[in-house]
Amino acid sequence: MTTEIYYYLLYAWIATGIIAFTFLLIKTAPYGRHVTTGWGPMISNQLGWMIQEGVAPFFISFWFFTGSLEKTHASYFFYGLYVAHYIYRSYIFPFRTKTQGKKIPLVICGSAVFFNFCNTFILGYFLGNIGGNFGDDYFSSPQFIIGITLFLTGVIINVKSDNMLIALRKPGETGYKIPTGLLFKYISCPNLFGEMIEWLGFAVMIGSLAAFSFPVWTVVNLLPRALDHHKWYLQKFVDYPKERKAVIPFIL
């Protein structure tokens, strides 16, 4: 594949994200607390997460290691951050969520697998064939320091918020409660806010349009999700804090 064709595909991927964002603002994705019937066969929620997220480390490994570009400590570092995130999301997180008995439409899993195929191609092909292979001096550059700071901040917010949500349920419980404390004081979905910051930091570290397409798609998927969660909280709990925003403190 030529670099020119790759960038045409990259532009198309970003444009598709913009279209998908408009759709997701209108239509709530039917999984989790928003799951509904009528979307075809259903599978276990935990199995669904393992399938849809578990393919990402394998896909990106293929694109990265089959690339012709010389690998450096920096490119291995970027690859490792991506893989570590998805190993957690696919093989650790689903078994901590206490969602036994809950289902997810198989079509949602299929769409997530397709997303991860496209997303890993865009990022993995770039790292394996085009760029991101900085020298070791890059690890002391302002760009890397800013990027890794944002990334780790996002990870901490995301994981801490997930832990607080998980802790709301006692053993055997599957219902929902009003989360409180830390960023939950200001927004309904600090876990999603943290993940958006995480991938923004990742993109800053790499500094390419290919890398920035990932936080673009993260916003495409998670911002409408946060708005739907916020609306759901307000409808379900009459005593839900009215001053809270959905996903960005004091703003949205």
Express each pLDDT in 74-128 by its tens digit.
Answer: 999 999 999 999 999 998 888 887 666 788 889 889 999 999 999 999 999 999 9
pLDDT digits (tens, 9 = 90+) for 143-180: 999 999 999 999 999 999 999 998 888 877 777 889 99
What angle separates helix 190-206 from helix 73-91, to the nearest 10 degrees? 160
Question: For residue 87, what are the CA distances in angstroms to 6, 60, 71, 73, 181?
Answer: 27, 12, 22, 20, 28
Output the pLDDT for position 176. 85
Between CA 102 and CA 94 the distance in angstroms is 12
Residue 241 located in a structural domain: no
Determine the angle formed by the axes of helices 106-125 and 3-26, rounding to 10 degrees: 150
Residue 221 counted as domain residue: yes
How far the first Cα of the chain sits from its last, in Å, is 41
- Residue 251 placed within a domain: no
Q: What is the pLDDT of residues 180-220, one digit of tens each?
A: 999 999 999 999 999 999 999 999 999 999 999 999 999 99
In a domain? residue 242: no
**What is the extent of the structural domain holding 196?**
3-236
Task: Output the pTM of the full model.
Answer: 0.92
pLDDT of residue 42: 86
In this prediction, residue 44 carries a pLDDT of 86
Residue 85 has a pLDDT of: 95
* Number of domains composing the chain: 1
Side chain identity, residue 135: G
Residue 219 lies in a domain: yes
The reported pLDDT for the residue numbered 133 is 94
User: Residue 40 — very low, low, confident or very high, per pLDDT cuts 50/70/90?
Assistant: confident
Q: Is residue 252 part of a domain?
A: no
Read off the pLDDT band of 5 (50, 70, 90): very high
Locate 6 and state its tokens. 């790759």
Q: What is the reported pLDDT for 98? A: 67
pLDDT of 39 over the 90 cut: no
In a domain, 20, yes or no: yes
